[in-house]
Amino acid sequence: GENVEQHPSTLSVQEGDSAVIKCTYSDSASNYFPWYKQELGKRPQLIIDIRSNVGEKKDQRIAVTLNKTAKHFSLHITETQPEDSAVYFCAAPGAGGGADGLTFGKGTHLIIQP
Partner 1 sequence: DGGITQSPKYLFRKEGQNVTLSCEQNLNHDAMYWYRQDPGQGLRLIYYSQIVNDFQKGDIAEGYSVSREKKESFPLTVTSAQKNPTAFYLCASSRGGSYGYTFGSGTRLTVV
**Residues engaged in binding partner 1 (CB under 8 A):** 1, 6, 9, 31-32, 34, 36, 42-46, 49, 51, 89, 93, 97-107
Nearer to partner 1, 4 or 19 (CB): 4
Contact of 33 with 24, CB cutoff 8 Å = no
Nearer to partner 1, 17 or 39 (CB): 39
For the bound state, the minimum distance from the C-beta of residue 16 to partner 1, rounded and expressed in Å, comes to: 29
For the bound state, the minimum distance from the C-beta of residue 17 to partner 1, rounded and expressed in Å, comes to: 25
Nearer to partner 1, 28 or 45 (CB): 45
For the bound state, the minimum distance from the C-beta of residue 48 to partner 1, rounded and expressed in Å, comes to: 9
Beta-bridge mates of residue 5 = 24
Q: Can you list the alpha helix ranges (DSSP code H) found in the chain?
A: none
Measure the CA–CA gap between 98 and 113, rounded to whole angstroms: 36
Measure the CA–CA gap between 27 and 48, rounded to whole angstroms: 21
Nearer to partner 1, 16 or 101 (CB): 101
Beta-bridge mates of residue 15 = none
| Per-residue DSSP letter, 54 | -
